[in-house]
Amino acid sequence: MVLTGDEAHHLARVRRIEVGQTIELFDGLSEDAVLAEIQEISSKRVVALATSPPRPGRHPAVNLTLAVAFPKGERLDWLVEKAVEIGVSTLQPILAGRSVVDPRPAKLDRLRRHVIEASKQCGRNRLMAIQDPVRWLDWIPVCGDSLRLLAHPGGIRQGQWPNWPPESHLTLAVGPEGGFTDAEVEAARLARWIPIDIAPTILRIETAALVGSALIINHAQSET
């Protein structure tokens, strides 16, 4: 196995790994990881030899897409990091009527690098995908997941949420500060989105996104 670029630099210059040491490697596409021994190392190139068969990682009971209107600044970085830790499969930025952040390609690239670092820290082997932004009203009818959940005050309370089988694909949508407009909520209802209530209080974007995601994943795991 040969590592180059940022990963080689990180091992050589940041972690200061030496020949003979063992590291864990994952490709970000599957749940498996392997142990590997360093054979050669420089700031531009690291050669490692696998010393174990693939080791399966843990993953949530469902495949969850979090569709969210991005908050500003460090709140967004925190949202991405914690979504990785919780086990969100895909982060889908949405542009709603009250959105204040329209993420550009450079910001998305930075966030994707942040996903890699967060995955290393929490021991997650399959990377959370971050998609390009979509306009909410254009996207709600074409979202492919079979179960579409809309975080909205007055929606179905947690004890009455529908059950979903293991390995289900679900989407949770969380609106911007001030929430979705009445027209946006009605359009979602017509597209068969299910409004759910995730807290007795009004939560900020990143709090609602993470609380909702954690509750949904836990609800799915409690059904297994």
The reply to whether 40 and 122 lie within a common domain is: no
The reply to whether 122 and 52 lie within a common domain is: no
The reply to whether 81 and 107 lie within a common domain is: yes
The reply to whether 178 and 96 lie within a common domain is: yes
Please report, for residues 7, 147, 169, 190, 221, the alpha-carbon distance to residue 63 in angstroms, rounded to integers and kept in the order given.
28, 11, 5, 24, 12
Q: Of 39, 56, 73, which residue is a domain's last? A: 56
Rounded distance between C-alpha atoms, residue 54 and residue 115, angstroms: 22
Range of the domain at 7: 2-56
The reply to whether 35 and 95 lie within a common domain is: no
The reply to whether 105 and 195 lie within a common domain is: yes
Rounded distance between C-alpha atoms, residue 131 and residue 70, angstroms: 12
Q: Taking Cα atoms as reference points, which of 38, 56, 57 lies closest to residue 48?
A: 38
DSSP structure class, residue 82:
H
46 within 8 A of 8, measured Cβ to Cβ: yes
| Each residue's pLDDT expressed in tens, for the chain with a length of 224 residues | 776 777 776 677 777 877 877 767 666 566 666 676 777 788 778 777 777 777 666 666 789 999 999 999 899 999 999 999 999 999 999 999 999 999 999 999 999 999 988 988 888 878 999 999 999 999 999 887 678 999 999 899 988 888 877 778 899 999 999 999 999 999 999 999 999 999 999 899 999 999 999 999 888 766 55
The reply to whether 146 and 213 lie within a common domain is: yes
The reply to whether 108 and 173 lie within a common domain is: yes
Q: CATH number of the domain that 202 lies in?
A: 3.40.1280.10
Give me the half-sphere count of Cα atoms (radius 13 Å) on the Cβ side of residue 203. 17
The reply to whether 145 and 80 lie within a common domain is: yes
